[in-house]
Amino acid sequence: MSLGRRIGIGSLQPYRLNITCKPKNEPHIRALIVNDTTGTDIILRGVDTTRTDDGAETELTVHLLLNGNAAVHLEQLVARLSLEPGIHAVHWHTADDPSPLSVTPVLAADPTEPDGQPSERRREPAPSP
C-alpha cells in the first residue's frame, strides 16, 4: 500500500510553523521537529532557515501537511517546542494565511538568562519616532 493511500493524500492540508530561536539551538530544534512530525496524520515537507541581520536569532519555517484535526496536532507541537530553551517564539498558520492562528509565548527557563529563571520572550514592535 502506498503512503498516499494510507493517509488519504487528498485530505491533507498545508500549514506552516514559524519558530524563532537562538542559532546554537537550531540543530536540536530541527531534530525535535523531525521526531515530532513522524506519523500518519502529519508530514514534514521541509524546513527553511533564515538568520536575522545581526545573527542573534534564527527563524525556522516548517512546512507541514496535516490530516485530521490539524489544530490539535499543531497545538501539541507548539506546546512541546515552547518548553525548549533557546526558543523565543512559536506560531502556526495555514499555508495561505500569513496571520497566526495560534500564538504561544515561550515561558521557559533559559540557562543563558542571568538568573536562569523563566522569562516571557516576545518580539515587541519598534517604538514610533
For 19, the grid coordinates are 519558530
CA 74 – CA 80 distance, rounded (Å): 10
Residue 99's pLDDT is what?
56
Which residue from 89, 87, 78 is spatially nearest to 122, judged by alpha carbons?
89
Please indicate whether residue 23 or residue 113 has the higher confidence score (pLDDT).
Answer: 23
Average pLDDT, the chain: 76
Residue 45's pLDDT is what?
94
In tens, the pLDDT along 66-113 reads 987 888 989 999 999 999 999 999 999 888 875 544 444 444 444 444
Residue 97's pLDDT is what?
74
Do residues 86 and 21 make contact, with C-beta atoms less than 8 angstroms apart? yes
Q: Which residues, listed in sequence order, are joined to residue 70 by a DSSP beta bridge?
A: none
Residue 80's pLDDT is what?
92
Residue 126's pLDDT is what?
40
Give the CA angle between residues 17, 56, 35 to the nearest 5°: 35
Q: Which amino acid is at 73?
A: H
CA 70 – CA 102 distance, rounded (Å): 12
Q: Stretch 27-35: mean pLDDT, rounded?
A: 94
Place of cell 490539524: 70
CATH entry 3.30.70.260 includes domain 9-121: yes
pLDDT at 26 over 50: yes
Residue 106's pLDDT is what?
45
CA 39 – CA 35 distance, rounded (Å): 9
CA 129 – CA 115 distance, rounded (Å): 33
Do residues 106 and 90 make contact, with C-beta atoms less than 8 angstroms apart? yes
